[in-house]
Structure 1
Amino acid sequence: MEAINYLLDFVFNALVWVLVLRLWLQLVKADFYNPFSQFIVKVSNPMVVPLRRVVPGLGGIDLATLLLAYLVASLKFIVIPLLNSGGFDIPSSMIFGALYLLKQTGVLLFIIMLVMALMSWVVQGYNPTQVIFHQLTEPFLRPIRRIIPNIGGLDLSVLVAFLLLNVINIFIGGAIPVWRML
């Protein structure tokens, strides 16, 4: 049963991350023709396009993608407990789904910034993935850079963002019961 829980957890995490990335790429107006953007769009299109026919966008926000990400996050708290204990609570699953969606967005931002930092040490020259990651993280790092400028050529904004994200993720993770996070 642990293997099934692990695989389901992986599938739900991956779906939420893909949907959050799609929405995030649209919000920052990232390069649509970038290979990373194309991958995210092609993977998420089968899920998003049918729902987009019913749920229109609002003010530049793709409500269909946001709704689908929320539904997938909430569904995790229905499917996994149903398989393990046989019971679930829809109202609490919806609340935990919203918290989980926020937490996974923070985890995704953390991972992207970590990969970006590692790529800055290894990758030389132009890299399309690095460009997209920069576009995704810049709205979060810019306010920190205004407060904490580069010190001796070192950009400490990523370190401060790591600390803030971990505090927020710990706070949100504490609100979701451990038995529901399987």
Structure 2
Amino acid sequence: MATQSAFGFLIDTIFNLYLMVILLRIWLQLVKADFYNPLAQFVVKATHPVVGPLRRIIPPLGSLDTASVLFAFVVACAKIAILLAMSGSQLNPQAIVIVGGLTLLKEVFQIVFWVLVIRAILSWVSQGYNPIEAALHQLTEPMLAPIRRILPSLGGLDLSVLVLLVALQFFQVLLFQQIL
């Protein structure tokens, strides 16, 4: 039983990390980030073997890459199906689709949270131009700029990341509390 939970942890972690990479691809495209950035290049190379052929079949909706969204959803559903099969539970397709969608939504909140935290930490220790920090800036600035317009300046201390993190956690708790 202990090895099954260890393998469950490993599978859960691998799927979550790859889901975050797929979601980063979607997010980078939505904000029209610089795709010559090393972080963006990694994300594209890690997801292109599946997303590339899917994009030929599934057209985008405006600036939303629907092929990547579908791929992320399929990966989330596969994660749930594998974890259920490992636990010996009945594989109910409707439950897998619903829980897969909720898993994907949870990972959206997680990736935004971690990108904000990493950006905040890098802003304290960065000594000049850093390509990863530049990509994180491109990802988060559309969310942080409106908060900065509302918050007063506190002598060079930027609390917009903290406000967004608290708001993000609030909405995540509120949403999942309503669902569950």
TM-score by length of 1: 0.90
Change in CA separation of 1:102 and 1:150 when aligned onto 2, cut-off 3 Å: farther
Deviation at 1:75, TM superposition (A): 2.1
Supply the AA of the counterpart residue of 1:158: V
* Identical amino acids, percent of aligned pairs: 45
Structure 2, unaligned runs of 5 or more: none
Deviation at 1:90, TM superposition (A): 1.6
Change in CA separation of 1:89 and 1:143 when aligned onto 2, cut-off 3 Å: farther
Deviation at 1:150, TM superposition (A): 2.4
Aligned residue for 1:138? 141
CA contact (8 A) 1:99 1:172 kept: no
Please give the per-residue CA displacement for 1:60-119, whole angstroms capped at 9, x wherever unaligned.
211100111111112222220111023122212212222221211111111111111111
In the alignment, the residues of structure 1 paired with residue 175 and residue 78 of structure 2 have an alpha-carbon distance, to the nearest angstrom, of 18
Aligned residue for 2:132? 129
CA contact (8 A) 1:24 1:136 kept: yes
Tell me whether 61-70 or 165-174 shows the greater mean CA deviation: 165-174
Asked whether 1:162 is paired with 2:171, we answer: no
Q: 1:11 aligns with which of 3, 9, 14?
A: 14
How many equivalent residue pairs? Answer: 177
In the alignment, the residues of structure 2 paired with residue 88 and residue 138 of structure 1 have an alpha-carbon distance, to the nearest angstrom, of 41
Change in CA separation of 1:172 and 1:65 when aligned onto 2, cut-off 3 Å: same
Aligned residue for 2:24? 21
Structure 1, unaligned runs of 5 or more: 178-182
Deviation at 1:174, TM superposition (A): 4.1
Aligned residue for 1:69? 72
Aligned residue for 1:36? 39
Deviation at 1:59, TM superposition (A): 1.1
Taking only aligned residues, the RMSD between alpha carbons, in angstroms, comes to: 1.6
Please give the per-residue CA displacement for 1:126-170, whole angstroms capped at 9, x wherever unaligned.
111101001101121122222213222111111111111112222
CA contact (8 A) 1:99 1:176 kept: no
Change in CA separation of 1:101 and 1:152 when aligned onto 2, cut-off 3 Å: same
